Structure 1
């Protein structure tokens, strides 16, 4: 699919750009894809955009990216806390998709990344798990979820706020650009032990420091919906409601355990304690 052509500004207050039909939604999605690829901010978007319109546009946006980045290889839960949901005017988390080409394994548990990797970059320590088998779609409790997970992946997500700083965010606008998914740096896979890791995910402690050793943030696994496996259950429900069944190998982003806007020279150093005997360290240096 080509992304060359006429991409119109995204001011929905312009009558010609009111999202009133499926074709309007698709045109909006193609425009978002063009901005995502060019790493340029979206023009201001009318906050009257609905979730249904945003999801229609996001579907087209992801279709435009798939020739470059491949098919979906996972899903994420975003805006998982009540304060975040209140600010966005929503009552539950928002979902997003990860395309296969968004994933990269960290080489030696660290990486050097351009600070301007996106439009308005935001880097996060992200807890990721992988699906063992399709039986996970029938899980209704955290204990049932645990039986169908293969690995835990301490990770760093390279997120991207695709909007201008002055843009008022809503759940629909965040959905429009796939809740900021751009790239994921996965750390070493840790085989999921059903007996121990269900508890370990709740007890997990992630400490984020800068290059001087200064602590930027400390978060526990319970900050993710009280139990990270509850976030898995939410993703299952969200995707099943869209007619999508999770498959073996799908990678699920369960929530951010720290969040920083990178600048050249920043060292984003994370220590993950509780997943195995020795802490896991993941570091990204921005230049």
Structure 2
């Protein structure tokens, strides 16, 4: 993969921030604030480094599915990132807050693909490729200081993704209509986010269709067995050591995770 000098600077900056767990300055100063293609090139290089280090790709995440967030960042389409096996944490499990920088959590619908998504793609194509849907939490954690990000910064930073949790049960897609689900998320028992499937591009399956087309265009189509996080159903919420996050999504079930300090290990 050939990178420009500026792209290499961005890769090195974000990779150091991830490994050292120290936030960095935005990368738009070297990539420009509107060059999304360059940002995806940086993301691909960063993810290749992780693969070269033994990282195992298990799926994809979709971000910027909320119109309000798109407006905030001045964009009109979602973005995406890669999920690695070491980003997965068990339902009702624990995540060390010290391994993260400035984490926030959002509740989403996750899909498990039962078929590759290649060729002519439509809403019905992606629907038929989904075997299961289930509740999920995504822990987003910008490597950029103070969440001072534009679309370029978050794309380069693998969609600002850090971890994810899949809940229970795994529901066959024919038993639930993703656009109709309702979500409630609490932190330490206090409701911090609510939303619905329609708040995710009108339908989480629309988000999946966008991702499938985008992935195929760039030569990396979605494959059977992949986990897809379809995007937030409501606002994200910040968390710290000690936070207990719980979410329920109608028709799907529940998911939770506890953030702990090193002293709790």
User: Aligning the two structures, in what range does the TM-score lie when normalised by the shorter sequence?
Assistant: 0.7 to 0.9
Deviations 1:128-173 (A, max 9, x none): 1011112x33463333322111111311112211111273x22111
Give the Å deviation of 1:177: 0.5
Q: Give the total of aligned pairs.
A: 255
Name the CA distance, whole Å, in 1 between partners of 2:182 and 2:134.
14
Give the Å deviation of 1:80: 1.2
Give the Å deviation of 1:272: 2.1
Aligned to 2:225: 249
Superposed structure 1 runs of 4+ greater than 3 Å apart:
138-141
Given that 2:66 and 2:232 are in contact with CA atoms closer than 8 Å, whether structure 1 keeps it comes out as: no
Given that 1:27 and 1:57 are in contact with CA atoms closer than 8 Å, whether structure 2 keeps it comes out as: no
Name the CA distance, whole Å, in 2 between partners of 1:103 and 1:166.
23
Matches within 5 A, 1:85-124: 85-106=70-91, 110-124=92-106
Give the Å deviation of 1:232: 0.7
Task: Please give the TM-score of this superposition, normalised by the length of structure 1.
Answer: 0.81
3-state SS, counterpart of residue 130 of structure 1 = strand
Which 5+ residue runs of structure 2 have no aligned equivalent? Answer: 261-265
Matches within 5 A, 1:123-272: 123-134=105-116, 136-138=117-119, 140-165=121-146, 167=148, 169-194=149-174, 196-197=175-176, 199=177, 201-211=178-188, 213-258=189-234, 259-272=236-249
Given that 1:69 and 1:99 are in contact with CA atoms closer than 8 Å, whether structure 2 keeps it comes out as: no
Task: Please give the TM-score of this superposition, normalised by the length of structure 2.
Answer: 0.87
Given that 1:137 and 1:246 are in contact with CA atoms closer than 8 Å, whether structure 2 keeps it comes out as: yes
Considering only aligned residues, what root-mean-square deviation do their CA atoms show, in Å? 2.2
Deviations 1:48-80 (A, max 9, x none): 242232222212111122244523221121111
Deviations 1:160-209 (A, max 9, x none): 11111273x22111111011111111123514243x32x2x122111112
Name the CA distance, whole Å, in 2 between partners of 1:157 and 1:166.
16
Aligned to 2:32: 48
Give the Å deviation of 1:23: 4.1
Aligned to 2:259: 286
